[in-house]
Structure formats: structure tokens, C-alpha cells
């Protein structure tokens, strides 16, 4: 069923037909966009400005723009896709946004003020990430003030989703614990498959279980799973928003991003260990190691889709259908 287009999309509303109020709204919106851009482009980054420049936006993009396999070797190389996903969600909800009742809401000013204070603190403390989060807050709170809660609540997810584009350095503290967990899980799995290996810190050794062993693998920082964890969190968030039937299902799927990413990374390390046992460490640590991430991430996506299907099941309806089929089969 086609949605009727609001008046703003009507071809009759050409520039010559715009009313004075329309021109004032366009001028105010242009002024706000210009001020916001200047605020974060010329006064957004004070951390090592000589290297990155003064722009928080340029700093963020440069943090994405690593060279290498899979859109960059950085943990946030998926950041390029995040703004496009947010814009797609807004476009998907465009009819609801147009039809939503609109009125000025004073609470929006509270969030605008809070975002501006956060940006000021980010500049003064040289925390560019705080300024970027403040920018996301402004993207949401300005429409909240001008159009009210009914519009703001429909923009809440696409604006919040932009946080996945911000490099969050506190996740780096999880690197070593994840390396230890992944190494231990891979060693237990390999031993269960009959491969004689032992764990030494974040390294996996075969006989004689020291640096002279032919089978030796080191689970380094890039293999910790941080990259797949952040990417899976973003993917489960957008997938759950579009597919899951209720808010609690969306949250369950999103929280499952952590175990899904860990299981995928454990599988990757285990597979590399098996290949190293069969063909040697040099073979396993070469091209196979570099490109195995694609297969592992694909497996994690398959698990995510399967989990979403399970969570969306109506168990009462499924049990009723099963009993009905069982009853008809027994006749």
C-alpha cells in the first residue's frame, strides 16, 4: 500500500510558491547547520591538533581511514557505513516523521544546553570523543525542541546509532582479557579435537610447548576480537531495530552481539590452529589468517539471523500448530 505524500513533497511547492514563514524556517535551519558545522570543524579537536587538525569530524574520519584488508585494519573501519545506515533509518521512517504532531518543546532546550556543555568540556579536557557525542546529542535535541517528542522519539534510534561511528578508546582495555579468553577457549577446543597444544599466556604451543615448537600461534591484539565485537554490536543494533517484533527482543539480540562475536573469534583461532597442525604455522599465519575474518564474521551473521528467527517465534502458536499436525497425523 502506497503512503500518501505530504504536501512538502508535492510538485506544486516550488521555490516561487514558498511563503515567508517557509523562507524563515529555511534560513534558520541553514544558520543552525552552519553554526554547528563551524563549532565542530574549527573548534572540535584540541587533542594533538598539529597532527589531526582542529576538526573533530576530520579526526573521526581519519581514525576510520586505515589501509589494509576489510575496509581498514582499524577497529572502527566500519564507521564509514554508520552514517549511511542512520540516514536510511530516517528515510524509512519519513512518512511517520511527516505525519507526527509537531510543536515546540522546552525540554529540547535542556538537552541542547547539555550537549553544548559536553562539547565545551570535551574541548577543554582534550577529549574529542566527548565533542563528537555532544554533536550527536545536538542532532537529536534540536529537532526535539522545534518539533516535539513525537518527532524526537522517531529520531532517537538513528541518532543514537551514530555513536558506533565514534572510536571509543575505553574498549581497548578489554583487549588483553579477550585475548586470554579466546586463547583458553581455542586451546580447550583443540585439545578436545585431539590436537596436543598448551596455553602459555596468550600464545598456543605444540610439543615441546616452548618457542622451539613447530606449532606456535600468538593471539595478538588484532586477534582479540575487539574489531568484530564493535562491528557486531552495530550490526545487531540496526538489524534488531528493523527486524525484531518488540523492544525486549531488540535488546536481547543486541546484547547477544558480545557472545556472537566471541564465538566467531574463538572459531577463527581454533581453525587456524587446526590448519597450523596440518600444514604448518607459516601456511596458517599467512593468507588464511588475513582473510579468515571474512568467514568468521559471516558465521556470526548467520548465528545472528538464526537467533533473531528464534526470538521472533510465537511459541504458543508454534505449539498449537505442532499439536494440530500431530493430531491429524495420528488419525
Confidence of residue 71 (pLDDT cuts 50, 70, 90): very low
Residue 35 lies in a domain: yes
Residues 90, 177 within the same domain: no
Residue 40 lies in a domain: yes
Beta-bridge partners for 216? 205
Work out the burial of residue 149: count CB atoms within 10 Å of its CB; fewer than 13 is exposed, 13-18 middle, 19 or more buried.
middle
Give me the pLDDT at residue 1, please: 46
**Cβ-based neighbours of 12, under 8 Å, separated by 6 or more:** none
Query: Among 62, 104, 92, which residue's Cα sits nearest to residue 79?
Result: 62
**Where a domain ends, among 112, 144, 165?**
165
Rounded to 5 degrees, φ, ψ at 217 are -130, 140
Residues 156, 199 within the same domain: no
**Where a domain ends, among 165, 189, 218?**
165
Domain that holds residue 89: 7-165
DSSP annotation of 3 reads P
Instruction: Supply the Cα-derived Rg of the chain in whole angstroms.
Output: 25
Residues 197, 91 within the same domain: no
The arithmetic mean of pLDDT across residues 135-148, rounded, is 90
| Tens digit of each residue's pLDDT (9 = 90 or more) over 27-56 | 777 777 788 788 887 877 777 777 777 888
Residues 227, 261 within the same domain: yes
Q: Give the separation between CA 254 and CA 238, rounded to whole angstroms.
A: 9
Confidence of residue 287 (pLDDT cuts 50, 70, 90): low
Element of type H or E holding 131: helix 128-147
Residue 161 lies in a domain: yes
| Tens digit of each residue's pLDDT (9 = 90 or more) over 187-224 | 888 888 888 888 887 788 888 777 777 777 777 655 65
Q: Give the separation between CA 288 and CA 281, rounded to whole angstroms.
A: 11
Give me the pLDDT at residue 161, please: 93
pTM of the model: 0.78
Average pLDDT value over all residues in the chain:
78
Question: Based on the structure, what is the number of domains in the chain?
Answer: 2
Residue 325 lies in a domain: no
Amino acid at each position: 500500500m502506497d503512503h500518501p505524500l505530504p504536501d512538502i513533497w508535492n510538485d506544486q511547492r516550488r521555490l516561487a510558491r514558498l511563503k515567508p514563514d517557509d523562507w524563515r524556517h529555511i534560513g534558520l535551519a541553514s544558520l543552525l547547520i552552519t553554526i554547528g558545522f563551524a563549532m565542530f570543524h574549527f573548534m572540535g579537536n584540541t587533542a594533538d591538533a598539529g597532527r589531526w587538525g582542529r576538526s573533530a569530524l576530520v579526526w573521526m574520519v581519519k581514525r576510520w581511514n586505515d589501509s589494509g584488508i576489510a575496509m581498514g585494519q582499524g577497529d572502527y573501519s566500519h564507521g564509514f557505513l554508520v552514517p549511511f545506515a542512520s540516514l536510511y533509518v530516517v528515510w524509512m521512517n519519513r512518512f511517520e516523521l511527516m505525519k507526527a504532531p509537531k510543536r515546540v518543546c522546552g525540554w529540547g532546550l535542556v538537552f541542547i544546553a547539555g550537549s553544548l556543555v559536553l562539547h565545551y568540556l570535551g574541548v577543554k579536557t582534550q577529549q574529542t570523543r566527548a565533542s563528537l557525542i555532544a554533536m550527536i546529542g545536538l542532532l537529536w535535541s534540536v529537532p526535539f525542541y522545534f518539533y516535539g517528542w513525537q518527532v524526537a522519539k522517531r529520531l532517537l534510534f538513528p541518532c543514537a546509532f551514530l555513536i558506533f561511528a565514534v572510536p571509543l578508546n575505553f574498549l581497548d582495555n578489554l583487549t588483553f582479557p579477550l585475548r586470554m579468553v579466546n586463547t583458553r577457549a581455542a586451546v580447550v577446543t583443540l585439545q578436545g579435537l585431539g590436537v596436543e597444544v598448551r596455553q602459555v599466556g596468550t600464545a598456543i604451543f605444540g610439543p615441546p610447548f616452548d618457542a622451539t615448537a613447530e606449532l606456535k600461534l600468538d593471539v595478538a591484539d588484532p586477534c582479540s576480537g575487539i574489531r568484530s565485537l564493535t562491528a557486531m554490536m552495530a550490526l545487531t543494533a540496526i538489524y534488531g531495530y528493523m527486524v525484531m517484533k518488540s523492544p525486549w527482543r531488540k535488546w536481547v539480540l543486541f546484547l547477544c552481539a558480545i557472545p556472537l562475536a566471541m564465538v566467531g573469534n574463538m572459531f577463527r583461532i581454533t581453525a587456524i590452529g587446526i590448519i597450523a597442525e596440518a600444514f604448518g604455522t607459516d601456511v596458517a599465519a599467512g593468507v588464511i589468517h588475513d582473510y579468515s575474518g571474512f568467514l568468521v564474521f559471516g558465521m556470526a551473521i548467520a548465528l545472528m539471523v538464526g537467533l533473531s528467527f528464534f526470538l521472533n517465534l510465537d511459541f504458543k502458536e508454534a505449539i498449537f500448530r505442532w499439536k494440530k499436525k500431530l493430531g491429524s497425523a495420528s488419525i
